[in-house]
Structure 1
């Protein structure tokens, strides 16, 4: 599995940052997420499910997710439960002197076995790294206005 880990410090309190990092707001700052909708009645708690459509390096991917851990104003972890890829991710926020540190991480494996691994090494992992960096900068700009 490939791994991405990115962080940024935002000059805004945790209580302002946390609501924006959920699936129902993620398209506002993650340009590669084309659509994300909760598919369960519960949204912001362990067990909540969502359907996500993303596009990275010209490759559209659809997958279903489930929150495997959820601590309000602290962290949420998710895993894919179906779709085009296998992935595990986490978003965490922590208060700092200046505001909030946001941490994003994702372990993922593209489909198509050997071909997927070659594509990942050649193009996708670099694009994902860039997309995560751009998303965090956009989140920072959005919350510091």
Structure 2
């Protein structure tokens, strides 16, 4: 099996960013806006488009709840999955790994190591949500 296309890698990273930020503030909500999730001084149109497409995908797939004011929150099923152990760090929840990864990726500290953990966590999240009928 070959390497994933760049668009899929970028999509998974954005999923990790969105879920990690929502885990970090749970049970609070965040506005469905790239500025609320991505900690960069200047967001490019490409990043904003990727955020918009990814957040809409997660809402339509039942991974996130979006209210009438376009605020996002983890669904109960997503929250349950985020509590499961990370396969690379069994003593740490998937959500904590993603929240840590989101913060560290923004500052570029230990990005490669944490990104690897986040990738494994995302794979487990997709599998668990699909098995549970959430996706």
Q: Same fold (TM over 0.5)?
A: no
Tell me the TM-score range normalised by the shorter chain: 0.3 to 0.5
**Which structure has the highest strand share of the two?**
1
TM-score, scaled relative to structure 2: 0.34
More helix by share: 2
State the TM-score, normalizing by the size of structure 1: 0.32
